Copies of this chain bind each other. A is one copy, B any other.
Amino acid sequence: MLGRKLARRLAHDGALGPAPISQLSLVDAVPSDPLSAVLDISEPGAAAEALATRPDVIFHLVAVVSGEAEADLDKGYRVNLDGTRLLLDAVREVGGGYRPRVVFSSSIAVFGPPFPEAIEDDRATTPRTSYGTQKAIGELLLADYSRRGLLDGIAIRLPTICVRPGPPNRAASGFFSNIVREPLNGREAVLPVSEDVRHWFASPRSAVDFLVRAATLDASALDDRRPLNMPGLSATVAEQIAALRKAGGEEAVRLIRHEPDPEIARIVEGWPRNFDTRRAHELGFRAETSFDEIIRVYLEDDMER
């Protein structure tokens, strides 16, 4: 989803920062898009093939999502850890001074309880999912390879993307989008947690902005600390529902079915709720400041006709 939106944005802009884009290659492990090459970078040799054109910037968004990485330990580690490592090693093996910017999409799932009032930039990563663990490991690899001058990496820890368009995926966080998107399109959605659950959000449009900014950032400003907590909006499910009411009326809100799921509630317990994203702010990253705004972005960019 994010990859497609990013590609569309880059194709529209025709440039990345000051640099015109001469070539844009999409690579995916599954045939998700008619324009993307099907290549599983967790297979030996595949990453080298993906780098054949020596891109100046690599966006590494690949991931087995949280629900699936939790259900299938081997697959999660193979794709999210080995795949990332194979990609970084393939960059290293190019040699000859090749040192591309690698933008790695990490996640706030690298954090776990007990949570402070707001998570600061120097907070320890204590993931409570295999997905979060694999993202935290990817960050460490990226930072080490960057420090060694083998590539120029930036890891951005994305908030939960909301409102996510299209059909639900296997992410345990899916309901945060479902309870907005489905009612706005006249369909029922299940809310598996209580309304006082607080979480950290940004729109898909903001996420694409983050990726573009990370691609063009002056890395010397990072002082070798390569992971960055991205800005977002801290909101409760109740605040989500209030914004839905404003956008879609009471009939939209009535389409939310409360169906408590202790397993999802347990997973969500382990997710961060609020951040103090000072470093990202200083570097110019910005996100939405109200859930009304997040819904407006959905209506403008992704609302089904």
A141 & B133 in contact (Cβ 8 Å cutoff):
yes
Which residues A93-141 have CB closer than 8 A to chain B?
Answer: 112, 114, 116, 121-128, 130, 133, 136-137, 140-141
B126 & A125 in contact (Cβ 8 Å cutoff):
no
Which residues in B have their C-beta under 8 angstroms from that of A143? 126-127, 133
A144 in contact (CB, < 8 A)? yes
- What is the predominant secondary structure among interface residues of chain A facing chain B? loop
Per the bound structure, the CA–CA distance linking A125 and B227 in Å amounts to 11
A148 in contact (CB, < 8 A)? yes
Which residue, A112, A123, A124, has most C-beta atoms of chain B within 10 A?
A124
Q: Which residue of B is nearest A120, CB measured?
A: B124
Please tell me how many copies of the chain the complex holds.
2
Q: Which residue of B is nearest A133, CB measured?
A: B144
A144 & B127 in contact (Cβ 8 Å cutoff):
yes
A140 & B127 in contact (Cβ 8 Å cutoff):
yes
Please pick, from B114, B116, B140, B148, the residue contacting A125 in the complex, using a CB distance under 8 A.
B140
Which residues in B have their C-beta under 8 angstroms from that of A140? 125, 127, 133, 136-137, 140
Please pick, from B121, B122, B130, the residue contacting A144 in the complex, using a CB distance under 8 A.
B130
A265 in contact (CB, < 8 A)? no
Say whether, besides A133-B144, A144-B130, A123 and B122 are in contact (CB < 8 Å): yes
B125 & A125 in contact (Cβ 8 Å cutoff):
yes
Contact with B along A56-92 (1 / 0, CB 8 A): 0000000000000000010000000000000000000
**Chain A residues with a Cβ closer than 8 Å to the other chain, count:** 25
Per the bound structure, the CA–CA distance linking A300 and B122 in Å amounts to 41
Which residues A180-196 have CB closer than 8 A to chain B?
Answer: none
Q: Which residue of B is nearest A225, CB measured?
A: B126
A33 in contact (CB, < 8 A)? no
A13 in contact (CB, < 8 A)? no
Q: Which residue of B is nearest A130, CB measured?
A: B144
Q: Which residue of B is nearest A142, CB measured?
A: B133
A224 in contact (CB, < 8 A)? yes
Per the bound structure, the CA–CA distance linking A137 and B125 in Å amounts to 11
Per the bound structure, the CA–CA distance linking A125 and B127 in Å amounts to 13
The 8 closest A-B pairs by CB, nearest first: A133-B144, A122-B124, A137-B137, A133-B140, A124-B124, A136-B140, A130-B144, A137-B140
Cβ contacts A to B, 18 pairs, < 8 Å: A112-B224, A114-B223, A122-B123, A122-B126, A124-B124, A124-B125, A125-B125, A126-B143, A127-B140, A127-B143, A130-B144, A130-B148, A133-B140, A133-B141, A136-B140, A137-B140, A137-B141, A140-B140
Q: A116-B122, A122-B126, A133-B141 are in contact. List 11 more A-B contacts (CB 8 A).
A: A73-B148, A112-B224, A114-B223, A122-B124, A125-B125, A125-B140, A128-B224, A130-B144, A130-B148, A133-B143, A136-B140
